[in-house]
Structure 1
Amino acid sequence: MNPTKVDRNHLLRLTDLPNVGPACEKDLRLIGIRVPAHLRGRDAYDMYAQLCMRTGVMHDPCVIDVFLSVLRFMQGEAPRPWWDFSKERKATLAKEAPLSLW
């Protein structure tokens, strides 16, 4: 759903969450998330790894941004577009990347 249309008091389906449409809903269901409440206590990077392992495909890293957006929303933050989280994701992944020997 478009973040500007999200109603925090109406979170029955995954598609009621900011930035979650049918494709993302399918991805979330693949990793065992059926309703918004199942997101509590989850980690976006672990969710992404689970999705990649479950499907056998490396998904676009922007999926992490969507996961970050819904997790933060569920923690009480205002709904924001997924791309607001791209800089954070890139910085986090850069810190975790193994050092090159070159």
Structure 2
Amino acid sequence: MNPNKVDRNHLNKLTDLPNVGKAGAEDLRLIGIHEPSDLVGKNSYEMYEKLCEKTGMRHDPCVLDVFISVTRFMAGEDARPWWAYTEERQQVLKQKATGK
């Protein structure tokens, strides 16, 4: 759903989350997330790795940005577009790759 249309009081299904459409909801279901509350306390990077393992392919890193957006939203942050997390994700992955 478009982050500007998200209503925190009406989170009944995965597609009620910011940046999640039908395909994103299916990705989440593949890794055991069936309702928005299942995201509470989840690590978005671990979720991404689990999805890649489950499907046997590397997904576009934008999927990770969406996972970051929904886990942060469920932790209480405002709904933001997935691309608001791209730079952060790039920095985190760069740090992991260089061992810093």
Aligned residues: 99
Q: State the shift of 1:44 in Å.
A: 0.6
- In structure 1, the partner of 2:80 is 80
Q: In the aligned structure 2, how far is the partner of 1:48 from the partner of 1:76?
A: 21
Deviating above 4 A after TM superposition, structure 1's stretches of 4 or more consecutive aligned residues are none
Provide the alpha-carbon RMSD of the alignment. 0.9
Q: State the shift of 1:98 in Å.
A: 4.4
Deviation string, structure 1 residues 10-44 (Cα, Å, up to 9, x no partner): 00000000000000000000000000000011001
Tell me the amino acid that sits aligned with residue 42 of structure 2. R
Unaligned runs of 5+ in 1: none
Q: Is residue 59 of structure 1 aligned with residue 67 of structure 2?
A: no
Instruction: Provide TM-score, normalisation by structure 1.
Output: 0.95
Tell me the amino acid that sits aligned with residue 82 of structure 1. W
Aligned residue for 1:97, secondary structure, equals helix
Q: In the aligned structure 1, how far is the partner of 2:41 from the partner of 2:69?
A: 14
Instruction: Provide TM-score, normalisation by structure 2.
Output: 0.97
Indicate conservation of the 8 Å contact 2:41/2:75, yes or no. Answer: no
Larger Rg: 1
Q: In the aligned structure 1, how far is the partner of 2:30 from the partner of 2:98?
A: 29
- In structure 2, the partner of 1:89 is 89
Greater fraction helix:
2
Unaligned runs of 5+ in 2: none
